[in-house]
């Protein structure tokens, strides 16, 4: 397995936008937290963290080829394992044809859009995540004009894929992101 520092360096090499780097790190945090919650060992937890960190690696430079450029070239050429490549493919099934089936694939799909949406909510709040409540996130989800580019159906589907109530999934991520 490729170490975390190498993956962080790769992230910084390929992504210039601090917002996209922040999103990638949030998804990595969410994936790591869920891996621990599910009782994964340290090695598996690193795999989950890495999939979260690198899931949007090619978005900035190759948006039309995302995530295929990352999975088929950038990461594959650097020896990242198939479990990570497949999880990244499955977070964008409409672009890759790979739907989230394995546990890591389902959780990456579930954490991606919701993490981005919750960050948008946090930016609108004076205390960010520190006093965020599930009901405030759900209220913003109902406002189609707020973060309108975030597909609400994917957020709902993500919670279903991990067999979680949406409220529980949101609360879990609030707890994770309070560290930010």
**Mean pLDDT rounded to a whole number for the chain:** 97
> Tens digits of per-residue pLDDT, 59-107?
999 999 999 999 999 999 999 999 999 999 999 999 999 999 999 999 9
Q: Categorize the per-residue pLDDT at 179 as very low, low, confident or very high, splitting at 50, 70 and 90.
A: confident
Grade residue 1 by pLDDT with cuts at 50, 70 and 90. Answer: confident
State pLDDT tens for residues 11-23.
999 999 999 999 9
**Which residues, at least 6 apart from 102, have a Cβ–Cβ distance to it below 8 Å?**
83, 86, 87, 90
Q: Helix or strand or coil: residue 65?
A: coil
Q: Please check whether residue 15 is in contact with residue 69, taking contact to mean a CB–CB distance below 8 angstroms.
A: no
CA gap 84, 47 in Å, rounded = 7
């Amino acid at each position: 397995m490729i170490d975390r520092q190498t993956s962080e360096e790769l992230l910084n090499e390929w992504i210039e936008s601090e917002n996209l780097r922040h999103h990638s790190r949030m998804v990595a945090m969410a994936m790591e937290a869920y891996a621990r919650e599910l009782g994964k060992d340290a090695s598996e937890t690193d795999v989950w963290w890495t999939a979260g960190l690198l899931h949007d690696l090619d978005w900035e430079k190759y948006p039309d080829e995302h995530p295929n450029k990352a999975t088929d070239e950038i990461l594959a050429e650097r020896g990242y394992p198939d479990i990570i490549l497949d999880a990244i493919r499955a977070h964008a099934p409409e672009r890759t044809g790979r739907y989230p089936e394995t546990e890591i694939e389902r959780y990456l799909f579930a954490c991606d859009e919701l993490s981005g949406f919750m960050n948008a909510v946090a930016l609108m709040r004076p205390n960010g995540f520190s006093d965020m409540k599930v009901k405030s996130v759900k209220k913003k989800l109902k406002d189609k004009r707020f973060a309108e580019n975030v597909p609400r159906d994917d957020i709902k589907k993500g919670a279903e894929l991990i067999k979680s109530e949406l409220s529980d999934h949101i609360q879990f991520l609030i707890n994770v992101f309070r560290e930010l």
